[in-house]
Amino acid sequence: MRADDKFWIGVGDIHDDISLLNDIPDLTDAAGVIISGDITNRGGRRRASHLLNAVSAMNSNIYAQIGNMDQAEITDYLDEKGWNIHAKGKQLAENIGIMGVGYSTPTPFRTPSEVPDIMLGQWLSIGYEQIKHLPKLILVAHDPPFGSKAAELPSGENVGNKSVLEFIQRVQPDICLTGHIHEADSEDFIGKTKVINPGMLCMGGYALIQLKDDRLEAKLMYI
């Protein structure tokens, strides 16, 4: 990449395993690290702080939210650190906003942070209100949008979220970084929105998000 290109590293589904963190190229030089959720395996504040302190030691500009496998108390910790993007919109850079929606809709596994779909839709609206004036947008949604490759199980069943899909169809953010479905690492498009699910970090996937020639671009990378 050009020396003047600003870029961010996006990861998801850490699940207590940061063993490959050091292997992500240029992580320390990135403008920030974006984490889509599932920092822990049913862990709380103490476990999340241990993992995120290791990330912060390499790059202190963190934008993160909980996933369904994280205890809800982690959101308070992220707020205290200034890292939380769940149900929030923030200015990432000039003319670029970032917003997030964590948790997930109910799963068969009774994980710690599950909510009805209507709640995800409300959180998306709350976050968007805070950055809708910015012309470029990165959406970080732990639950992937319905119908996308990012939500497709090996069986072919699509288990994506309809509120996330409806938001993307309406707003058309430049990029949607997602996760939750570990086997669905992929790139896809919904309209002009690039949807990326890098899968579990321990499997080597991550997203490279770049501002190039005043355009936001993203691609799926592997270590």
Q: Which of 187, 182, 186 is nearest to 199 (CA)?
A: 182
Q: How crowded is the C-beta side of 204, counted as CA atoms within 13 Å?
A: 3
CATH number of 6-222: 3.60.21.10
Residue 106: left (phi > 0), alpha (psi -120 to 50), or beta? beta
Quickly state the pLDDT bin for 5 (edges 50, 70, 90). confident
For the cut 80, the answer to whether the pLDDT of residue 39 exceeds it is: yes
In the chain, the DSSP E strands lie at: 6-11, 33-35, 62-64, 89-93, 96-101, 136-141, 175-178, 186-190, 193-197, 205-212, 215-222
| 3-class SS of residue 80 | helix
Q: How many whole angstroms separate alpha carbon 174 and alpha carbon 171?
A: 9
pTM score over 0.85? yes
Q: How many whole angstroms separate alpha carbon 144 and alpha carbon 150?
A: 6
Taking only the tens place, the pLDDT of each residue in 137-184 is 999 999 999 999 999 999 999 999 999 999 999 999 999 999 999 999
Quickly state the pLDDT bin for 120 (edges 50, 70, 90). very high
